Structure 1
Amino acid sequence: MKDQLKIALIQAPLVWENPEANRNYFENKLADVNEEIDMMILPEMFTTGFTMTPQNIHSSEGENTLVWMKKLAQKQNAAIVGSIVYEAQEFFTNRLFFVKPDGGIDYYDKRHTFTLAGENEVYNSGAKKLIVNFRGFKICPMVCYDLRFPVWARNVEKYDVLLYVANWPKPRVGAWDALLKARAIENMAYCVGVNRVGVDEKGHKYSGHSATYDCLGEQLAYSEREAILYSTIERNHIEETREKLKFLEDMDDFTLE
């Protein structure tokens, strides 16, 4: 069990519906990581951008990207995390993969598909929350629009890290900032958000604001440009904060159906 978890947040522009170009970009970008890192986090739909035409992506690309993630995780001795367009049987999902250095794979299908863009009409919604145990830390990964729904993220599992990957547009980035901080405070956990930058094929602008917040809502990392951001998750901070401020013990009981 480690006392620290070191993470790299990869805030980047994305090439529209071009998995190979995006994989090449991120492979070069991850090679620039200049610290010993436990987890590298990429944006939502990092191989395509936030596309509502997944049929334009060859069905083999999901597995191609998964193989690529496994190779890089082993090479870097770090978990690789990010969501992609994934074709499962006869339907599409916005699926987040958490790929470990030993080849282990966990996945999470985005629970709240973004109705404003019609994502609910194209992608199947997930129904299961994911908690990943990695190097002694409990991590709860989610995707973009999930950030607006605090009940889904409620820390009944006593996780240590809540993380979001996103394509969150510039006009509403103030909500992104506020909600990331709120999720950290209310769940007494580190909250990590990785967004993209640039302009997509539909003209939507993205200004980043990837960030890490500690259990008290203090900002540890932040950027508005293409960048690799580094943060350290401290076990002592989690334990000492929860021992001193026993807010999680006072939460309301509920059942999510």
Structure 2
Amino acid sequence: MGQLPIRVVLAQLQPVPASVPRNIAAVAHTLASFPEADLAVFPELFLSGYGLDYVRDVALDLGSEELAAICALAARYSTATVLGFPEAGAGIYNSLLCVDRDGRVAGVHRKTHLFGRERAVFRPDDEVAAVELAGLRIAPMTCFEVEFPEVARTLARQEPDLFVAVAANMDPYGPEHRIAIRARALENRTPLVYVNRTGVEDGLRFTGESCTVGANGAVLHSLGGAAQVISVDVSLNRSAPAEVDYRRHLRPELYHG
């Protein structure tokens, strides 16, 4: 698609705790409401909610009927879909399901850097990789991962068209994410879509503030703290003046550990 924009749905929603069927219904409603979208992005652990005390009970394996339903919805509305879910496997992973417009699972991103109490529930993965969605190379990240430049840089080496970062970010960490997502876009000269959840669960207030960021680090679209779903055109322009195109000036032989 070159530098043509992509139409992206930012689904800044509050999942129903431990109710996978109701959250699938929210996905269906969202995709039906924006049939022109190329890509729809939902928050971290959207299918389950963020209750770490129950998340094991609602974890889904990749062959589950629930994930098959998500694939069918993506195909029905011809909308590539990224959303968070707890994955049952060799342990429980905090995962992102990446489904292409034809309903095919293009990839699963498993969170590598776990935050706080997540470490007692989830198993961290050891790989980050871009996936092909909607004719683009998409680089997925989950919440705490955006605060590590190394994660985004590893993905940037795979020449993605777009970073897609999902989150269940809560108070008081909103300012950290606002800075980090702009920095990750700027330092890698790659546009970024960020979708966070809203609401209160288990005493945590989730901050929302979903946005899109250009390759120059500028915020192009932004939401507040309330639940809201918008559809926006996201530019895939990754050009930068040569002197500040950091990708050209890297010296990897200097960087260790």
Common fold: TM-score over 0.5? yes
Structure 1 residue aligned with 2:127:
128
After superposition, the C-alpha distances for 1:179-235 in whole angstroms (9 at most, x for unaligned) are 1111111110001110011111x1111120000000011111111221112332334
Following superposition, the deviation at residue 168 of structure 1 comes to 0.1
* Percent identity between the two aligned chains: 24
2:146: which partner in 1?
A: 147
Residue ranges of structure 1 left out of the alignment (5+ in a row): none
Using structure 1 for the length normalisation, give the TM-score: 0.89
Partner of 1:9: 10
Unaligned 5+ segments in structure 2 are: none
Distance 1:242 1:140, change over 3 A: farther
AA aligned opposite 1:99: V
1:186 aligned partner: 187
Matched, 1:246 2:240: no
* Per-residue deviation, residues 102-121 of structure 1 (Å, max 9, x unmatched): 2321111101011x22x122
TM-superposed deviation, 1:256? 8.4
- Give the AA of the match of 1:75: R
In 2, the alpha carbon distance for the partners of 1:142 and 1:103 equals: 21
* Equivalent runs, 1:58-97 vs 2, <5 Å: 63-88=64-89, 90-97=90-97
**Alpha-carbon RMSD:** 2.2
Contact 1:43 1:165 in 2 (8 A): yes
Alpha carbons of 1:133 and 1:153: their partners in 2 closer, same or farther (altered >3 Å)? same
Structure 1 residues 197 and 205, CA, compared in 2 at 3 Å: closer, same or farther? same
Query: 1:72 is paired with a residue of what secondary structure?
Result: helix
Equivalent residue number for residue 50 of structure 1: 50
| Contact 2:183-2:217 at 8 Å conserved across structures | yes
TM-score, with structure 2 as normaliser: 0.89
Find the residue that maps to 2:199 and give its secondary structure: strand
| CA shift digits 1:113-166 (9 cap, x unpaired) | 11x22x122211111112112344221001111011111110222222111111
Structure 1 Cα separation of the partners of residues 232 and 186 of structure 2: 17
Letter in 1 for 2:51: T
Contact 1:138 1:160 in 2 (8 A): yes
**Size of the alignment, in residue pairs?**
250
